[in-house]
């Protein structure tokens, strides 16, 4: 089997708050929620229908250093790139649910794109590739 990235960690403030946001606002599926200890859970989500795509591990900050990284894991750069087969559908759905777009939709040589902030302030590209 070739190598591939299976999961990326997003540091979050609270497990249940993050699950609620990613599943109800961004329409992700909850893949796993396993209790590992009194303070730690293994929580995995992914966009619906992306069975072979990269998953997100929602990891609750466990130290003050980790808390500082919440919402700023890439120093203010776009962090994640989510492809869609229907940009207008998803843009309208997210906007109706209160998702904040910090850069409006534009058409670029590679497709239609807009940048939004997630619950914690991480920046995402929503892209419908050409």
pLDDT (tens digit per residue) in 12-60: 999 999 999 999 999 999 999 999 999 999 999 999 988 778 999 999 9
Q: What is the pLDDT of residues 40-52, one digit of tens each?
A: 999 999 999 887 7
Q: Give the CATH class of 71-130.
A: alpha beta
Rg (CA), the chain: 15
Mean of all residue pLDDT scores within the chain = 95
Whether the CB-CB separation of 100 and 116 falls below 8 Å is answered with yes
Whole-structure pTM over 0.85, yes or no? yes
Which stretches does DSSP call E strand in the chain?
Answer: 7-12, 28-35, 41-47, 55-60, 78-83, 100-108, 111-117, 123-129
CATH dotted code for 1-70: 3.10.180.10
In the chain, residues under CATH classification 3.10.180.10 are 1-70, 71-130
Token readout for 60 is 């609750």
**What pLDDT was estimated at residue 15?**
98
Q: Which residue has the tokens 């750069």?
A: 77
State the pLDDT at residue 1.
Answer: 66
């Amino acid at each position: 089997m070739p190598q591939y990235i299976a999961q990326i960690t997003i540091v979050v403030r609270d497990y249940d708050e993050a699950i609620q946001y990613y599943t109800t606002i961004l329409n992700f599926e909850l893949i796993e929620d396993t209790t590992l200890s009194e303070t730690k859970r293994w929580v995995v989500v992914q966009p619906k229908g992306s069975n072979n795509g990269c998953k997100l591990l929602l990891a609750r900050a466990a130290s003050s250093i980790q808390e500082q990284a919440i919402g700023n894991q890439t120093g203010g750069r776009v962090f994640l790139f989510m492809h869609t087969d229907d940009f207008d559908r998803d843009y309208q759905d997210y906007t109706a649910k209160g998702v904040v777009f910090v850069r409006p939709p534009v058409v670029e040589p590679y497709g239609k794109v807009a940048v939004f902030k997630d619950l914690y302030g991480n920046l995402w590209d929503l892209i419908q590739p050409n």
